[in-house]
Amino acid sequence: MSFGRPHLRTSYEQDSAIFPTYFQKGAAGLFLIFIVLMVLGNGAAGWIPTWLFGQTWLNPLTLVLPFAIAALGFNILTGVTGQVSLGHAFFMGVGAYSAVTLGGKGDGGVKACVPFADNIGLLDKAGECGLGLPIWIWLPLAGVFAALVGILVSPAAVKVRGLYLAIVTVGLVFIGLHIARMLPEYAGDYESGRKWPKLDIRIWKEEVPFIDMNEDGKWLGLIYLTEEQKQFFFLFAILLVMMAFAKNLVRTRTGRALQAIRDRDVAAEVMGVPEQHYKRVGFAISSFYAGIGGALWASYQGRVSPVDFSLLLSVEFVAILLIGGAGTIAGTMMGTLFVELLPKAVEKLTNWLSGNLDSGGVIGDLANIMLTSGPGDFGPVSTSPTAPGWPMSVFLWNPVIYGVLIVIFLIFEPHGLFGIWVKIRNYWKGWPFSY
């Protein structure tokens, strides 16, 4: 690379580098340091405001990380390969239940599963069965089993495209929910679910874990971390590994084949790219990511029911990709943060407005317009969390907000948040010139 022309790239390796410039490498390093300091500071260090990153936001941000892993898989299938899927929640469920079967603890292993419907007195033991394997076994196998299921269903999926493919994958979600109803001994009660293995790191099946993720203490004897901080750093490290793999996949022969199929599948096949083979590969990799994300999400939650892996969860991934930007790792991360943190942000805004209903001024007037606390008010948002109709509670508004945002981004910015960032970046690169 020439010193006189710092952005001149003379090889494919330079052009396809993850961080092609020293500025990008330095910015990525500073961003990681910033994340670590924010989590360690947790709003108490003085220089980090508690409203920006405190205990209130640590749990939602940690919950974003497994979704980001699953969203990376959805991006590989839809954004890179160009296959429209609405069955991503099904593969998350496959990974989650593979994890609980392999890693869940039970007195008699899988054969000791007790269906909830058989004995109501065994509520605490319903679905409590598993092989008790450590996380370094059940987590990768959760992704592998989800990938195997993806390969099994891919022959039916790769022969169709567009709307027909979306309909086929929607069927997988309802099949998964039906199987969960028919097998309560494995899925647990349909509404309350079952307990998942914790994120503790064990060498084998010892009682005392090598690293206990559910207690405050020193990480490997070096630095004191709370339970929430341990889980954040653990999931964040896994996300970084999965991001690196996804980014490098796009630069490989397989990634270029997947993108060729996305851009023009007929032309790609004429040029010698086996379309059905690479579509199956895309399906398998996407399912692997979904399985890992589903297993981590369920384990972090502790208790998950089959209804959590419904069609609405698949629609969330569609919103993530459309709002963030399809086909890009950065866009996927932006979309995941935006979509998954939006309900929490709306909830906090609603609570803040609710506390200022009687304050007067502009904020008080806005609160009275937006909120309703009784039969005499006419605001669209009810302060009651169980409001069944109009006005709706803030939780029922979330799907409406997703739909509105999808329509807005499709019309005004099809490239999503990543497209907005590119425009801002290019503007400052060319400033003060307008061309």
Per-residue pLDDT, averaged over 395-411, amounts to 80
Greater pLDDT, 382 or 131: 131
Confidence of residue 122 (pLDDT cuts 50, 70, 90): very low
d(CA 60, CA 431): 38
Q: Indicate the helix (H) or strand (E) that contains 218.
A: strand 217-219
Confidence of residue 352 (pLDDT cuts 50, 70, 90): confident
The tokens for 61 are 């941000």
Confidence of residue 174 (pLDDT cuts 50, 70, 90): very high
The tokens for 395 are 């939780």
pTM here?
Answer: 0.88
Q: Which pLDDT belongs to residue 1?
A: 45
Q: Which pLDDT belongs to residue 113?
A: 62
**Does pLDDT of 212 surpass 60?**
yes
Confidence of residue 387 (pLDDT cuts 50, 70, 90): low
Task: Render pLDDT for 269-293 as a digit per residue (tens, 0 to 9).
Answer: 888 889 889 999 999 999 999 999 9
Q: Can you state the percent helix, strand and coil of the chain, rounding each to 5?
A: 65, 5, 30
Confidence of residue 143 (pLDDT cuts 50, 70, 90): very high
CA angle 150, 308, 317 (to 5 degrees): 60
Q: By three-state DSSP, how is residue 165 classified? A: helix
The tokens for 129 are 């069965």
Q: Which pLDDT belongs to residue 120?
A: 44
> 258: buried, middle or exposed (CB in 10 Å: 19+, 13-18, 0-12)?
buried
Q: Indicate the helix (H) or strand (E) that contains 219.
A: strand 217-219
The tokens for 58 are 């640590």
**Does pLDDT of 4 surpass 80?**
no
Tell me the helices (H) and strands (E) count for the chain, helix number first.
16, 7
Confidence of residue 373 (pLDDT cuts 50, 70, 90): low
Q: Indicate the helix (H) or strand (E) that contains 217.
A: strand 217-219
CA angle 102, 105, 111 (to 5 degrees): 70
Mean residue pLDDT of the chain comes to 81
Per-residue pLDDT, averaged over 157-169, amounts to 80
Q: Which pLDDT belongs to residue 84?
A: 86
**Does pLDDT of 305 surpass 70?**
yes
Most confident of 103-112, 325-334, 407-416: 325-334
The tokens for 54 are 């405190």
Q: Encode burial over 147-170: b for 16+ CB neighbours within 10 A, e otherwise.
A: bbbbeebbeebbeeeeeebbebbb
Beta carbons of 77 and 286 less than 8 angstroms apart: yes
Instruction: Report the range of poorest mean pLDDT among 65-74, 259-268, 319-328, 423-432.
Output: 423-432
Where in the chain are the domains?
A: 56-311
Instruction: Report the range of poorest mean pLDDT among 116-125, 321-330, 334-343.
Output: 116-125
Confidence of residue 106 (pLDDT cuts 50, 70, 90): low
**Does pLDDT of 55 surpass 50?**
yes
Greater pLDDT, 269 or 394: 269
**Does pLDDT of 53 surpass 60?**
no
Whole-angstrom Cα Rg for the chain? 24
Q: Which pLDDT belongs to residue 43?
A: 44
The tokens for 333 are 């991360």
Nearest to 199 by CA among 217, 208, 211, 188: 211
Per-residue pLDDT, averaged over 44-59, amounts to 58
Greater pLDDT, 282 or 427: 282
d(CA 72, CA 329): 7
